[in-house]
Amino acid sequence: MIIKASLCEGLSFLKLTTKKIFLISFASLIIAAAYFLINPYQTSSYNYDLKLGEIADSDVNAPFDFYVYKTPETLAAEKEAAAKKIQPVYKVSDNLKFNVQKNLDFIFQHFLIQNNKTAETIQKKLEQNGYEISLESIRYLQNDANRMKIYNQLAEDLNRILDIGIYPEDYNFPEIKIAKFNRIRSYELSRLYSLEEAKAKLQTKYEQPIEKQIVKEIAELILIENIVIDEEQTNNERERAKDKVLPTLGKVQKNEQIISKNHKVTTLELLKLRSLLKASQEYQSAEIGNHNLMTAFGVFIFSFFQIILLFYIILLFFDKEFSSQPRLIILLASLLLTIFFTILMNDILKFHSLLIPFSLASLLIAIIFNPNIGLIFNIFNFSFFLLFLNWSLQNPIILFVGTIGGLIALKKIKNNHEIYPPAFYLGTSLIIMITAMTLIRSKEISIFIQHLIWGLGSGFLSIIGLAFLAPVVERKLNLATKQRLLELLDFDNPLMQKLSKFAPGTYHHSIIVGNLAESAAEAIGANHLLARVGSYYHDIGKLENPQFFIENDENSSKLHEDLLANESSRLIRDHIQDGLVLAKKYKLPKPVIDIINQHHGTAKIKYFYQKALETKLQCDEKDFHYTGPKPRSKESAIVMIADIVESTTKSLDSFSEERIKKVLYKTVNNLINEGQLDEAPLTLKELETIKSYMLPILLGVYRKRLEYPEE
């Protein structure tokens, strides 16, 4: 709390409120935190922004020993190649052995079930189940002794052969890996059986031709290869092979040169540079962590000072409205926007830094504030851009100068929302700068084309972002931007249309007040557009009861005769609150709303106050005063003066220069004496200027014209 209080006191000369100090501090903290998080990916000694084929600005030597890591794509490809070299691991399938035995039993069961049937019947039944056995073999097996002899011997031989295993017919290697009992061992194929060898082996135990024939027929039907690929073990072996692939290409020794100055960057050098970056993150991590904290604190101080300096320049050289809290929020958000895009595209997505939409923030500020402030902001935005690009100058300079072209376009055009002129100027400036840099650095045409595409891409992203963001910011914060004020000056605006239709006198009065206020505001350097717009809308509250105001109805006095003086005063006074309701409904900018609220200050409604005295009405004097506040800006004060002067002059019976001048000077003096201008930042010299610029307009409007004689 003590530090906060001291900070507030120390920055009081900048007219910074506690909220503004908090906002600036918070933004600086975000910037410092962002830098702290991405700092491991940067270095103050080496330029990591080099791309393949670019020319290095300086020598880069290894500060310590480190390994050169392969790219993720290369490492993945090598691992896949290593995995493909691994021969499949096989296993002796117990399931297939069981199926063979099951089929054997199934065949012999037919002889038990069909015991009293003919050989032909048994053959037909076997065929129906997919087993083709000759009649001769069936007749032999119908004998119980023969059948039992063959079955027992065949079952025993099958069990032994299948335990050893029958390897696949398409296997072409001399050895085969087989997993048994959680161990993988290599076996020579000669120790195993092929399918034909297994069939032949089954027949060796029989002497009679008929028995050999029966075994052969049954073997053809049921015998299968039972050495199959073990997917789990094969995958494990391949994963082990992948793990054995080294992620590094070799080792770089301390002080070994990585890149030579003026040398074209090769793929291997890029790998070394990226590996150095990775190694620097792990090297002396505790020391680096402390260093990063110190660096982040430095960035906080840098950011805080830069933002304070920017704010003070705007406060010192531009209108007060530009240093308001909403505008400060926009300034801070714009700086953070540039930093966000820089981190996203350069550090996370790894795009070329020329593709970063740097111009977006500066052009947005130029629209929301004005091009002059946009130009100043561009300088400060550039410093933050450099900070987050590790002080690499070439590409930031291209984008910085290119942005100036877009700002010049915004300065020249009347409508800030015209996209084409800024886009053209920005694109042209970027092309010129990229061409110049290419010639200076003697780069190849292919590099020039790449940079040109990236630079124009940056401009395109900035313009698209601007077209989307500018209207959103203006509407969301309800700012009195140049574009918004120009829109409100349009006589086709719904409020102006309504005023001209239902309160024509007030409408005409507001137009003249607008002429007076704009001329005076421009003369003293105030916001003349705001003064005119404020004048147009200052009396919109009279739309609620237009008939009670004499400029709209010459018989309004008769209406007031039927009312008590305090009731008439309330009707007159309420046009301020009614105006505020309408202004908020139609979303008028806050500075315009302030003019509506302040243009009568706390002045007394003298006519009805005098009527109350004459009629001896018992009421509170406060009922005959506007609720205020008094004008707090130059524009509000000018509209107050113009409003009173116009309505007073219009009621004169003589429009001589002397009478009009007297009204003008008397109005200003009365406002000073009554204290209505106490809170307005106007000097006496500026008041004299205001009077001198309003007088010719009043004379032009109300001076009597010459009457030409008829022929």
Identify the CATH number of the domain in which residue 465 sits. 1.10.1760
* Predicted confidence (pLDDT) at residue 243 exceeds the cutoff of 50: yes
Last residue within a domain, chosen from 210, 229, 248: 229
Domain co-membership, 385 together with 508: no
Max CA separation in the chain (angstroms): 154
Pairing state between β 89-92 and 175-180: parallel
Note whether residue 614 is domain-resident. yes
CA distance 405 to 495: 37
SS3 letters across 674-701 = CCCCCCCCCCHHHHHHHHHHHHHHHHHH
Average pLDDT over the chain, rounded to whole?
85
Last residue within a domain, chosen from 477, 506, 521: 477
Note whether residue 687 is domain-resident. yes
CB contact set of 138 (below 8 Å; sequence gap of 6+): 111, 119, 122, 123, 126
Note whether residue 308 is domain-resident. no
Domain co-membership, 624 together with 663: yes
Domain co-membership, 677 together with 537: yes
Domain co-membership, 521 together with 566: yes
Domain co-membership, 225 together with 372: no
* Predicted confidence (pLDDT) at residue 451 exceeds the cutoff of 60: yes
Note whether residue 155 is domain-resident. yes
Domain co-membership, 471 together with 558: no
580-597: average pLDDT: 90
Note whether residue 464 is domain-resident. yes
With DSSP H G I counted as helix, E B as strand and the rest as coil, what are the percentages for the chain, rounded to 5?
70, 5, 25
* Residue 377 exposed, middle or buried by CB count within 10 Å (0-12, 13-18, 19+): buried
Domain co-membership, 471 together with 346: yes
Note whether residue 135 is domain-resident. yes
Domain co-membership, 535 together with 452: no
Domain co-membership, 550 together with 453: no
* Predicted confidence (pLDDT) at residue 2 exceeds the cutoff of 60: no
Write out the residue range of the structural domain in which residue 394 sits. 318-477
Predicted local distance difference test score (pLDDT) of residue 114: 67
How many domains is the chain partitioned into structurally? Answer: 3
Last residue within a domain, chosen from 449, 477, 505: 477
Note whether residue 627 is domain-resident. yes
The pair of three-digit structure tokens given for residue 53, joined into one six-digit string:
């084929």
* Predicted confidence (pLDDT) at residue 650 exceeds the cutoff of 60: yes
CATH classification at residue 540: 1.10.3210
Higher pLDDT, 254 or 373: 373
Return the amino acid letter for 383: S
**Under a CB-based contact definition with an 8 Å cutoff, are residues 338 and 385 in contact?**
yes
Domain co-membership, 181 together with 329: no
Q: Give 179's DSSP letter.
A: E
Q: What is the pTM of this model?
A: 0.54
CA distance 316 to 305: 16
* Predicted confidence (pLDDT) at residue 4 exceeds the cutoff of 50: no
pLDDT tens sequence across 178-216: 888 778 888 888 888 888 988 888 888 888 898 889 889
* Angle (deg, nearest 10), helices 634-650 and 504-524: 130
Q: What are phi and psi of 27, to 5 degrees?
A: -65, -40
Integer CA distances (angstroms), 506 to 560, 585, 590, 597, 599, in order: 18, 20, 22, 17, 15
Note whether residue 278 is domain-resident. no
Domain co-membership, 651 together with 548: yes
Predicted local distance difference test score (pLDDT) of residue 323: 82
* Predicted confidence (pLDDT) at residue 709 exceeds the cutoff of 60: no
Higher pLDDT, 602 or 608: 602
Domain co-membership, 447 together with 504: no
